[in-house]
Structure 1
């Protein structure tokens, strides 16, 4: 199952690390920009997600589009078309690593 929609309406999402281009290491160990199948650049942002009265959690979200300039640490934001993708793979030590990855079509600022 891929791209499972997520309703984060009850959460306050605050920028922890401003959006940047998503990077990965290629087979030669060089940093390269992550793109989708059509060649569009992916972006990544770290957010603190919290429901009032409960503990929060930092999440890292891959964005399908450039969120634009002006988003800074501490800004309240909303994810556009938020979703999760489960993953599972064997690492180079033979251990199985599983979890979920957050993604969204975009990110928009909220007023305080």
Structure 2
């Protein structure tokens, strides 16, 4: 199951690392910018916290350019937030699993 809608309405989302273009290493170990259908992906690190809870840092892939003006410490909201579970075997034969967060975009908190 992929792209499960997520309701983060009861949480405060604070930028831990400002949005940047998403990159990955190619087969030769060089950094390359991630694009899907010619559209550059971005990534942002957010600290997610609700009242009375400790909080958690997550990385979110953004499907659109968030634009200028997003800085560390700023409260934001995700547009069309989703999560996808994943599990795979890496090159060492270990099983790696987790949750990948994605959103259409980012906007300042109201």
| Whole-Å separation in 2 of the counterparts to 1:71 and 1:12 | 15
With normalisation by structure 1, the TM-score equals: 0.96
Q: Which residue of 2 aligns with 1:19?
A: 19
Hey, which bits of structure 1, 4+ residues long, moved more than 2 A? none
**Structure 2 gap segments, 5+ residues each:** none
With normalisation by structure 2, the TM-score equals: 0.98
| Whole-Å separation in 2 of the counterparts to 1:25 and 1:80 | 28
| Whole-Å separation in 2 of the counterparts to 1:52 and 1:18 | 24
Per the alignment, in what secondary structure is the counterpart of residue 38 of structure 2? coil
For these two proteins, the number of residue pairs brought into alignment is 110
Task: Note the aligned Cα RMSD (angstroms).
Answer: 0.7
- Does 1:52 pair with 2:13? no
Of Structure 1 and Structure 2, which has the larger fraction of its residues in strand? 2
